[in-house]
Amino acid sequence: MDDLDRFITGIPKAELHLHIEGSLEPELMFELARRNKVAIPFASVEDVRAAYQFSNLQDFLDIYYAGAQVLQTKQDFHDLAAAYFARARADGVRHAEIFFDPQTHTDRGIPFDVVIEGLLSGMAAVEGVSSKLILSFLRHLNEEAAFATWRQAEKWLDRIAGVGLDSSELGHPPSKFARVFAAAGEAGLKRVAHAGEEGPPAYVHEALDILHIDRIDHGNRALEDPALVERLAQSGMTLTVCPLSNLKLCVVGDLADHPIDRMLDLGLNATVNSDDPAYFGGYVAENYRAVAHARNLGKAQIVQLARNSFTGSFLSEAEIATHLATIEEFARQN
């Protein structure tokens, strides 16, 4: 590990774009399959990893949903979350705001309460990393299904920081979920949405103007619209960018072409995150390292990305200030 790699691992950072189901490593998948006597379409851990070659978002989602079948009990969800937070802490993560997809589980008969109780337990099991939970609606389903999930979540709203929108983007514009996002806003929750990953800049506009989001997940294709870029920069809107995901899902053909430094140069509040690390080849520090080496990022840019990860979080201003001070101290000493 060279000096920059050590710097990247050590610098305090937040992760703002992590699907907890996407942190299901093949080893844990097999362990849970045995524990719950669930058949999975793979003979070995090696077979699972060999399947992780995707040409688009849907290729990935097909395997993602198949893997989630092994998650059955509170203990399973606890183990899933605890494993992620242990990895995140080793990567220098001090705070994580994680997505969960309740519909992936409730649609196969797993009660909402089982999912959230297990996740909250696992989130609390690892010291040194604070966390918040974001409920994501599956955009390939209809808004009525989202409302059904919202009703199941209502008694848990004191433990849920926000709502999000994920799954298949193309053909499912943000406006499809205007009413349920309005309900979440009225309840005081933060709102985020995947937009501009495979979908056009128009989807980013919809997320801003119709869903009234507080943060954009991905947002790469916003760069195709100069007026939109200026708007995002002036408003300080955070983009939760995921380099290895972008590479695996062919959003970029090569990390050497990744726009992360261009985003910074344009004044965008871009951050680096791991998305679905078990499937895309690396947790958050590996995403930093991969894009830093591919784009020749320096320590100053790494510091800016780490700062952005906290200023874009849903922590209080006092908590953010404390984390920014730790970053400055780390940078001075390293």
Q: Which residues are annotated as a binding site for substrate?
A: 276
The tokens describing 225, both together, are: 């619209």
SS3 266: coil
Name the nearest CA neighbour of 244 among 258, 233, 232, 230: 258
Q: Is 24 helix (H, G, I), strand (E, B) or coil?
A: coil
In whole angstroms, give the CA distance from residue 207 to residue 175. 7
Binding-site annotation: residue ranges: 17, 19, 194, 275-276
Q: Which of 197, 198, 206, 286 is catalytic?
A: 197
* Spatial distance between the Cα atoms of 123 and 86, rounded to a whole number of angstroms: 10
Give the whole-angstrom CA distance, residue 157 versus residue 172. 26
What is the C-alpha R_g of the chain? 19
**How far is 86 from 99, CA to CA, in rounded Å?**
17
Q: What DSSP element (H or E) covers 67?
A: helix 57-67
Q: Hey, what are 271's tokens?
A: 């951050």
* Termini Cα distance of the chain: 15
* Full strand arrangement of the beta sheet holding 162-166: 13-19, 93-100, 130-138, 162-166, 190-195, 215-218, 238-241, 269-272
Residues 189, 214 contacting (CB under 8 angstroms): no
Q: Could you confirm whether 197 is annotated as catalytic?
A: yes
3-state secondary structure of 281: coil
Nearest to 296 by CA among 261, 251, 333: 261
Q: Which residues are annotated as a binding site for Zn(2+)?
A: 17, 19, 194, 275
Task: Catalogue the active-site residues.
Answer: 197
